[in-house]
Structure 1
């Protein structure tokens, strides 16, 4: 199952992402594209809402062309803790491939009709829609009307029960997945049952768009081939990025596969991840800025003996900020969320290893290195200036040369691409930005929890609330029932409606012939 979270992306970005997922070397009948649109929103530069853009791409089934909108429990403030969503079912066709698609549109409550972003609750809420649904299905818990509607439409579309999906691939709407990536990630999961989550290598698709994108190329490279590769040795990658990660839904407890352990669907993880108790600086940085990293943190905290790894063969491409103020806003969120998530993980003693050869010690070093980056840069400048004044400049230059030399060795050992030497030089020129300006800006804005200029939407007085095909909710309360109760109610309702039609038909026949 592939979860694609959408917000205000351009039509071209969404189409590229869907095309890449469709062309992956995995059977079309065994994968399901699960798209969640976060509100009825028109992105900057778009003429339609994101939901309408996607609906125009899909071949929607006739029986789901006008779906009911149902209430569900969402994340947010007091007045935003419930939301409305409707479910479409259809297929996406590209080239000779045809893939089943479930589209969930968060359309908002009646009270949000005149809001700028009706139904918008954030990416964490979009992930929780699928996580709660799979948890209710796998553990046979009570489900909402929305979750029952999802169950019914998934089975009707694919003829596969939702509890038979073993893995969830989470990607962003602007991510292009390599054709072999999905198959390689599934193989890695199948080969090692202890892996509960993994990620691949993320590369940059808009490399030459501006100098801002160019300085990020080598930074992405060392983040994966140095940072995640080292953490993967311990089986504890601390951040599975939301743009390209795979999670295991459940794992067999014994070899006979009769009993299982819920992983992504664990109630402990879902209850904490869905928490609305965000009233401290620490929790706001966890929940509002780095939800992808915090999901990985929760997985490691609840299952410290299982693995999160990095797969170098699985590759994807994504769009990175091409303007400096957007990069500044993005890295502010990433740096601050990194510090607070590492603070959570450093308190977990059950992680693998002992003392200096433990994952806990690695996390502590990573936390310290993130905090002291500006001080290290100032110290480096001081050593260089002091070396010039005292005549020992060669010592400083030799240290810098050794640092660069080891990076060159790293490039040849991991990628063997000479082009990375060029990107390394570009990265070195931007060294003050990465190691001083961005950390200082992030630390100074520790209490800023907005997403800044990362995603822009189109402001309009147009009524966004009802897009095409929406119906009003038939009931206000949030009701949860077991699957068999929903099924019995549906069949009884359908039977009663059919009997009513038969009675009306008999009356017409009686009037005509008698």
Structure 2
């Protein structure tokens, strides 16, 4: 730990940081790992948990994502050649099992050394000729950790992969996995500010009712293109207006996967606790493969981060999901318009379907028009009628010009802009957002007409589009990295931890006895 930070001033809570990777560039991944390593937190109490979603070579990369990360890490000698194990994954019928292996090591940066667990989803032998062996999506990557923590916290049967995780986490950190209190989820292209982690942990500690929270996401590639420039103020008002208002009711409806923290369990008293992120109800529903309707496809395939928040609010409506303004991260946003179209199509459609789920939950905070349920209803209506609102605004302009009452229309628009200026002055210390507001207003037809219309027109499109690119040539993909061991059996056995431990020690003793016998034979010759 850096000498600049006193251990006694830092919370002692153990935190797992889940980093989901797919086809990111080396520079993006390194920036994320560097920022998390430099976080003002005790290095011994934070664990970087990286999940690589398949054997993927990203566009512009010469190595697979897993090999890129392995080259960054200092892998422990006892985990340098891990065995790949079978686990239950999410996907179609032939993709509901997968293989993954676990590495353990450390990430070193700027005199800091942080423990790291790397899970590589390498795929089954039947996927050896696929372009993306082992790829099951971000939800599956999240579920690897969620199922593992649920098995540990609830003392349930675990798979061989989960036991391998348990064993390696303890061997690496000397901390039992059930001692971790919080899970911070970030994307592999997110740069977290140094003090964000400690601010999020303190917010959790100060209010035990909080089951999840998020911080402010800012844009790192502001000036890359006009597409990135029009998104800056939109991100600002989404957080400082949208999430801030929802946070008053304790019901932020979307904790973004790029930067959110969840409580693993809530301690009820000395003996009992309530599982939250690890709740069987949450884990079972989130891992469902029953995705056979338009509604469920929009929930599971397009907005898994938002749906996880929805599940938490549905199952624990009396608890809080909040936004804190002083926890900040930076991320890269789409710099091309067709990529922005693809991203917002997913976001808008998943928003509508998640709000439809939440509007049916009457137990949320408040009553009548002062309730979170009413706020969600307003959000749902406003999202749907955005294009109509824009058309009516144009109609008002035309009628105003014809009738001579254009000043009334301009006055309404001025009030709308004036309130946004007041918002900027009250919530931001930078007047530069006034400039970004003007850029945003110039792109008003894009945000309020073009993007919603495009999303509604593609309501049955469940692909991720051009958001992430990979190399298309099949020769760039291979099944197992040279350090993986193949397993001939594709079985899935679940046992309690003590059963796995007994079996391991029994086999270890057998191997030791066999070695002793061999040594005695050699010695007897002399």
After TM superposition, the score normalised by the length of structure 1 is 0.99
Superposed CA deviations along residues 16-70 of structure 1, whole A, max 9, x for unmatched, are 0000000000000000000000000000000000000000000000000000000
Aligned match of 1:39: 54
Partner in structure 1 of residue 308 of structure 2: 295
In structure 2, the partner of 1:473 is 487
Q: Which 4+ stretches in 1 moved above 4 angstroms?
A: none
The counterpart of 1:148, out of the listed 159, 163, 168, is 163
User: Structure 1: how far apart are the matches of 2:194 and 2:400?
Assistant: 52
**Match among 117, 126, 130 for residue 141 of structure 2:** 126
Tell me the equivalent position of 2:11.
none
The structural deviation recorded for 1:463 is 4.5
Q: Secondary structure at the match of 1:314?
A: strand
Q: Give 1:222-241 correspondences, 5 Å limit.
A: 222-241=237-256
474 and 486 in structure 1: CA distance in 2 versus 1, 3 angstrom threshold: farther
Give yes or no for the alignment of 1:509 onto 2:519.
no
**Residue number in structure 2 paired with 1:390:** 403
Instruction: Measure how far apart 1:509 and its partner are.
Output: 2.8
Distance 1:402 1:78 in 2: 55
Q: How many residues align?
A: 510
Hey, what's the Cα distance between the residues in 2 that align with 1:486 and 1:82?
21
In the TM superposition, residue 467 of structure 1 has moved relative to its aligned partner by 1.1
Q: Which of the residues 169, 179, 187 maps onto 1:172?
A: 187
Deviation at 1:94, TM superposition (A): 0.4
Cα shift at 1:470:
0.3
| Residue 334 (structure 1) shift | 0.0
Q: Is 1:484 the counterpart of 2:498 in the alignment?
A: yes
Distance 2:400 2:481 in 1: 67
Give the Cα separation in 2 of the matches to 1:206 and 1:42. Answer: 23
User: Per-residue displacement from partner, 1:379-421 (whole Å, max 9, x unpaired)?
Assistant: 0000001100111111100111111001100110111321000
Q: How far apart, CA to CA, are the structure 2 residues paired with 1:467 and 1:151?
A: 23
User: Does residue 220 of structure 2 align to residue 205 of structure 1?
Assistant: yes
Q: Which residue is 1:500 aligned to? A: 514
Q: Which residue of 1 aligns with 2:459?
A: 446
How big is the shift at 1:475?
3.1
Match of 2:374 in 1: 361
1:109 is matched with which residue?
124
Return the offset for 1:500: 1.4
- What runs of 5+ residues in structure 2 fail to find an aligned partner? 1-15
SS in 1 for 2:415: helix
1:120-155, Cα deviation, whole Å (9 max, x unpaired): 000000000000000000111000000000000000
Which residue of 424, 441, 456 maps to 1:428?
441
Name the residue aligned to 2:13. Answer: none
CA offset digits 1:150-179 (Å, max 9, x no partner) = 000000000000000000000000000000
Show the 5 A alignment for 1:42-441. Answer: 42-254=57-269, 257-441=270-454
Q: Which runs of 5+ in 1 are unaligned?
A: none
Please tell me whether the aligned partners of residues 55 and 477 of structure 2 are also in contact (alpha carbons under 8 angstroms).
no
Cα distance between partner residues in 2 of 1:169 and 1:473: 32
What TM-score do you get using the length of structure 2 for normalisation?
0.96
Work out the CA distance in 1 between the residues paired with 2:415 and 2:248: 25
Q: Report if aligned partners of 2:344, 2:455 keep a CA contact under 8 Å in 1.
A: yes
Is the 2:57–2:477 contact (alpha carbons within 8 Å) kept by the matching residues of 1?
A: no
CA distance in 1, matches of 2:418, 2:477: 59
CA distance in structure 2 between the partners assigned to 1:372 and 1:202 by the alignment: 26
Q: CA RMSD, aligned part only?
A: 0.7
Pick one of 35, 41, 55 that aligns with 1:20: 35
Residue deviations 1:350-396 (CA, integer Å, cap 9, x gap): 00100000000000000000000000000000000110011111110
Corresponding residue SS for 1:9: coil
Give the C-alpha shift of residue 98 in structure 1: 0.4
Paired residues of 2:131 and 2:477 also in contact (CA < 8 A): no
